[in-house]
Amino acid sequence: MKKKGLLAMFERFSSGQFPQFKSLWTEDKETSHEPGLQTTSTAAPEAAMPVILNDNPNGIAVGLDVGSSKVVAVIGRLDTNRQIEVLGIGEALSEGLTRGSVSNLTKTTTAIKEALAAASKTTNLEINQVIANYSGVCNNLDQRGVIIREDMIRDIRAEDIIRLKKEMEGNPYPAGEQIVYLEPQHFIIDDEPDIRDPIGMSGQLFESDFHVITGEVTALSNLHKCVRQAGSGIKTIYPTAIASAEAVVCEEEKEEGIAVIDIGAAVTSIVVYKSGIMRYANTILLGGNSITADIKQFTGLSNKQAELLKKTYGSVLPEYSDPAEIIQYKILNGTKDRFISKVDLALIIQSRMEELIGAAYNDIVQALNGRSLTCGIVFTGGDSALQNLRKLGEQITGLKCHAGTPILHLKTDLFGARFAEKLNNPVYATSIGLLKMGLTKLV
Ligand SMILES: Nc1ncnc2c1ncn2[C@@H]1O[C@H](COP(=O)(O)OP(=O)(O)OP(=O)(O)O)[C@@H](O)[C@H]1O
Ligand SMILES: [Mg+2]
């Protein structure tokens, strides 16, 4: 019988012999002091006056992922080839969100402030504006917007689409809800339907069928408050899964049909694309914390220990675990050794993960309304790192599944030495996607 000492691992962890198990917090503080982080051409010396970053000057933007377990701020710009170049990252532990929304203003503000300060420090840019995410529950609606253009000969420009979008804000929405995001499905110009790209065309009656995502007014207002109190403003908010998709999915996949399932700590965010159009985005109030809680209940471990056990040995498929592999552990203040097999651990995780993927898949099927999802499902978020998730996803949905890492869409040569390894992780999909939206979305 092979024994693995969880306690021994904790000891190595706290003594620094096990660098990969250092907490996000510790890692952030350490890496931000690495001399290598100050060496790119964009990093100004310590004493230099910070450049104030307001409204995307010099094509720089900041993605701010306000998550339930961590807040991440990523600063970046587009290079001459329009590739995203990350200039700095700041992170902080987050303890002020419940069910994807702010439940403690002070804790959330503090976390945002710390993440922004850390990102600011590595780049010497003062952050006044961010692109942030909304992880609350959404409503999905299809609505038509109409404007009449006074000069029908003038080319249709981005401003006309912005005007159309503004018109939509005046529509009635369910009580307590407001638009978080809306995307034109197609345009209609003077009764000519199914126009995908209206820019440059002429016309008087300009219409669009929008897919509208609404969210809770109070949740959005609290998010704005926290960012404001942290010293910044929010330029745009995107639903979490839309941001994550932006980081890991390409336009061709959106055309063929693809869904992203972002499994975070407290929530699972979903988005579905088909024929190049976003069809559905929502949040399920179930995430990796529930898996950790199940492990905690079964083993008697503390939350922190259960989380470490999950991250170190967790798999979602017991049949791929060796029944002979037994993990030895001690509960807090416990004297006796306890044991759990890797198979039993996987059984606990599998049951909750099946519930989670099953719920997400139900939403996806409804959103597709009989249409196919040729490119299958991409998993992002922290719990997507669990072993064999792709296989379990395929068993449940019958679709191709894979893990999404944001590195695919990032420039790796210049900043590679600084950030590539760190960013090659599905937990950064949301923040990188937000950054990408900030840099590339005009309307
Ligand atoms: N290597 C890993 N293996 C398994 N689970 C992991 C791993 N790394 C992180 N997690 C889990 O991922 C979750 C955190 O993921 P993530 O950072 O995406 O959440 P978040 O964005 O802070 O929260 P949310 O999206 O729910 O608001 C936690 O449940 C954590 O236990
Ligand atoms: Mg998240």
Confirm or reject: Cβ of 429 under 6 Å from ligand 1: no
Confirm or reject: Cβ of 92 under 6 Å from ligand 1: no
pLDDT tens readout for residues 30-53: 233 222 212 222 333 334 454 544
Q: How far is CA 89 from CA 86, 422, 431, 436, in A?
A: 8, 10, 10, 14
Confirm or reject: Cβ of 288 under 6 Å from ligand 1: yes
Provide the β-strand partners of residue 141.
212
Question: Which regions of 135-251 does DSSP assign to beta strands (E)?
Answer: 139-148, 177-189, 192-195, 205-216, 233-239
Q: Which residues contact 234 (CB under 8 A, 6 or more apart)?
A: 64, 129, 130, 131, 132, 223, 224, 227
- CA 50 to centroid of ligand 2, rounded, Å: 29
Atom of ligand 1 nearest to the CA of 307: 31
Atom of ligand 1 nearest to the CA of 240: 25
189 found inside a domain: yes
Which three-class secondary structure state does DSSP give residue 104? coil
Cα atoms in the 13 Å half-sphere on the side-chain side of 380: 31
Closest CA to 224 of 285, 162, 133: 133
Provide the β-strand partners of residue 189.
192, 206
- CA 379 to centroid of ligand 1, rounded, Å: 12
Pocket test residue of 24, 28, 69, 303 for ligand 1, highest count of atoms within 8 A of CB? 69
200 found inside a domain: yes
Confirm or reject: Cβ of 386 under 6 Å from ligand 1: yes
CATH for 187: 3.30.1490.110
Rounded CA-CA distance 387/377 in Å is: 16
Ligand nearest to the CA of 430: 2
Rounded CA-CA distance 198/324 in Å is: 63
186 found inside a domain: yes
- CA 395 to centroid of ligand 2, rounded, Å: 25
Ligand nearest to the CA of 404: 1
Rounded CA-CA distance 297/285 in Å is: 20
Rounded CA-CA distance 129/224 in Å is: 11
184 found inside a domain: yes
Q: Is 279 in contact with 302 (CB distance < 8 Å)? A: no
Confirm or reject: Cβ of 438 under 6 Å from ligand 1: no
Rounded CA-CA distance 70/295 in Å is: 21
**How many structural domains is the chain composed of?**
1
Confirm or reject: Cβ of 264 under 6 Å from ligand 1: yes
Give the structural domain span for 186: 139-215
50 found inside a domain: no
Q: Is 135 in contact with 65 (CB distance < 8 Å)? A: no
| pLDDT score for 410 | 64
pLDDT tens readout for residues 182-200: 999 999 999 999 999 999 9
150 found inside a domain: yes
What is the separation, in whole angstroms, between the first and last Cα of the chain? 60
Give backbone dihedrals phi and psi of 354, rounded to 5 degrees, phi first: -65, -40
Which strands sit side by side in the sheet containing 70-78, from one edge to the other?
84-93, 70-78, 60-66, 129-134, 233-239
Confirm or reject: Cβ of 125 under 6 Å from ligand 1: no
Q: Identify the segments of the chain with pLDDT beneath 50.
A: 1-3, 6-48, 50, 52-55, 414-417
Pocket test residue of 380, 383, 405 for ligand 1, highest count of atoms within 8 A of CB? 383
Instruction: State which H helix or E strand residue 365 sits in.
Output: helix 342-368
What is the number of other CB atoms lying within 10 angstroms of the CB of residue 223?
Answer: 25
385 found inside a domain: no
170 found inside a domain: yes
What 195-199 contacts at long range (C-beta under 8 Å, 24+ apart), as own/partner pairs, is: 196/276, 198/156, 198/160, 198/161, 199/155, 199/156, 199/157, 199/158
Tokens 């991250």 belong to residue: 311
Which strands sit side by side in the sheet containing 177-189, from one edge to the other?
139-148, 205-216, 177-189, 192-195
Ligand nearest to the CA of 287: 1
Provide the β-strand partners of residue 341.
326
pLDDT tens readout for residues 49-88: 545 444 455 589 999 999 999 999 999 988 777 778 888 9
Q: Which residue, by CA, sits nearest to atom 2 of ligand 1?
A: 311
Q: Is 56 in contact with 130 (CB distance < 8 Å)? A: no
| pLDDT score for 58 | 58
| pLDDT score for 407 | 66
